[in-house]
Chains A and B, each alone.
Chain A
Amino acid sequence: EIVLTQSPGTLSLSPGERATLSCRASQSVSSSYLAWYQQKCGQAPRLLIYGASSRATGIPDRFSGSGSGTDFTLTISRLEPEDFAVYYCQQYGSSPWTFGQGTKVEIK
């Protein structure tokens, strides 16, 4: 099973700042089959990025994904108030599909 480790656990930033979230895999994720989700309190997760770098439909271009192999990054170029949430990475290259433990982006 591929273990995904996200860092940092919590990111304290102000609106307008840049957020950089990391997701590291215990082994290579085939074909960059990595997705990112946003989850707000009391809501279901929402797909942001798939294939490591492709934005899902309707996702603003301030969200971008990059990486390959074992190291992946989600970048939010300028934080908007609605972006403060928990973010999860998920790999779907090797069953069982697994998630990282999440990074909370909170208002500083």
Chain B
Amino acid sequence: QVQLVQSGAEVKKPGASVKVSCKASGYTFTGYYMHWVRQAPGQGLEWMGWINPNSGGTNYAQKFQGWVTMTRDASISTAYLELSSLKSDDTAVYYCARSRQWLHWFDPWGQGTLVTVSS
């Protein structure tokens, strides 16, 4: 079955960077887009951007441009989200989620990775 499995929880200090992984299985990795969505504690969902695993092309929400980088390694069907210059309000659960190329509803989702930023 189609599955997205994310890396484990991280604790980082302010100003540090973190890289979260999302390993896909059960489908052709390069045939679908991968999105990242974050959810701060007790809050709603916020779309961060997508990567086209086939070409490596990306599209970031304006809020995340310049400090978020999405990459992929198609040889191991894994997408990555790197966050730099972390601040305390970046503490959140980060989800990866798959979409079709032109129809960006999200299904399925990874289980989420909690990133805690604390001094």
Asked whether any CB of chain A lies closer than 8 Å to the CB of B45, the reply is: yes
Contact B103 A50 (CB under 8 A): yes
User: Once bound together, how far apart are the Cα atoms of A56 and B106, in whole Å?
Assistant: 11
How many interface residues does chain B have, given as a range?
20 to 34
Q: Is the interface of B mostly helix, strand, loop or mixed?
A: loop
Asked whether any CB of chain A lies closer than 8 Å to the CB of B44, the reply is: yes
Total A-B pairs in contact (CB under 8 Å)?
55
User: Once bound together, how far apart are the Cα atoms of A96 and B108, in whole Å?
Assistant: 20
Q: Which of A45, A98, A100 contacts B106 (CB 8 A)?
A: A45
Contacts of B44 in A (CB 8 A): 88, 99-102
Contact B107 A56 (CB under 8 A): yes
Interface residues of A (CB under 8 A from B): 33, 35, 37, 44-47, 50-51, 56, 88, 90, 92, 95-102
